């Protein structure tokens, strides 16, 4: 005669073997994985904040390099400074230069601050902005050295914002009029 064992009967008769994980082992694994996940998430948050800070610094440096190099080039090319039309030693500075033309004569080049943006006009025509869209210029100061002015000092105070990060700084440069007469 054949004896057929049911599933429940065969399971009861088997020796106790270890199948799966115990509750304590599972809790330890979950705890370890939770700690690892917290570390990874915190690292990602810190990296994101650092990247924003780097983007703000890059934007600020790019803005100042573009504006100051253009201002320096215009000063170097200029023949003289129109001291009566220029505004010196003010945060809303304005510099009017007489730049030589290729065919002879001069044209007026005007560098000024308006609405938080450094702008440039050449011969009465608006040329463009010297600062980027995320950069606000808080002050543009021109200082002259000598009379008539042949050395000009420039001070630019910028603030840049990218997302929630904001950074402000003041930069300085100076340039000589090379075509000074």
pLDDT value of residue 148: 64
CB atoms within 10 A of CB 110: 20
Tokens encoding 45:
């948050």
Is 57 inside a domain boundary?
yes
CB atoms within 10 A of CB 118: 24
Q: Name the percent of the chain lying above pLDDT 70.
A: 86
Over the chain, what is the mean pLDDT?
84
| 3-state secondary structure string across 63-102 | HHHHHHHHHHHHHHHCCEECCCCCECCCCECEEEEEEECC
Note the pLDDT tens digit of each residue in 8-43. Answer: 555 555 555 666 778 888 899 999 999 999 999 999
pTM for this model (two decimals): 0.70
At a CB cut-off of 8 Å and minimum separation 6, what does 134 contact? 59, 63, 160, 161, 162
Could you give the number of structural domains in the chain? 1
Is 3 inside a domain boundary?
no
Task: Residue 166: give the domain boundaries.
Answer: 40-176
Note the pLDDT tens digit of each residue in 83-97. Answer: 889 999 999 999 999
Is 2 inside a domain boundary?
no
Of the candidates 109, 135, 131, 134, the one whose C-alpha atom is nearest the C-alpha of residue 120 is: 109
Tokens encoding 62:
């790019």
Is 166 inside a domain boundary?
yes
Is 75 inside a domain boundary?
yes
Is 12 inside a domain boundary?
no
* Eight-state DSSP code of residue 87: B
Is 101 inside a domain boundary?
yes
What's the distance, CA 51 to chain centroid?
A: 11
């Amino acid at each position: 005669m054949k004896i057929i064992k049911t599933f429940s009967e065969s399971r009861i008769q088997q020796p106790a073997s270890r199948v799966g994980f115990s509750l304590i082992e599972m809790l330890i694994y979950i705890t370890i994985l939770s700690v690892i996940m917290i570390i990874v998430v915190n690292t990602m948050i810190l990296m994101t904040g650092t990247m924003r800070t780097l983007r703000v610094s890059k934007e600020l440096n790019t803005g100042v390099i573009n504006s100051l190099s253009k201002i320096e080039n215009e000063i170097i090319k200029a023949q003289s400074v129109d001291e009566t039309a220029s505004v010196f030693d003010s945060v809303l500075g304005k510099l009017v230069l007489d730049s030589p033309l290729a065919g002879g004569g001069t044209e007026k080049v005007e560098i000024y601050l308006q609405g938080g943006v450094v702008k440039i006009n050449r011969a009465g025509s608006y040329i463009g902005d010297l600062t980027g869209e995320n950069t606000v210029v808080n002050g543009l100061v021109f200082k002259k050295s000598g009379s008539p002015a042949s050395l000009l000092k420039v001070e630019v105070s910028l603030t840049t914002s990218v997302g929630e990060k904001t950074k402000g700084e003041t930069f300085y440069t100076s340039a000589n009029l090379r075509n000074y007469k």
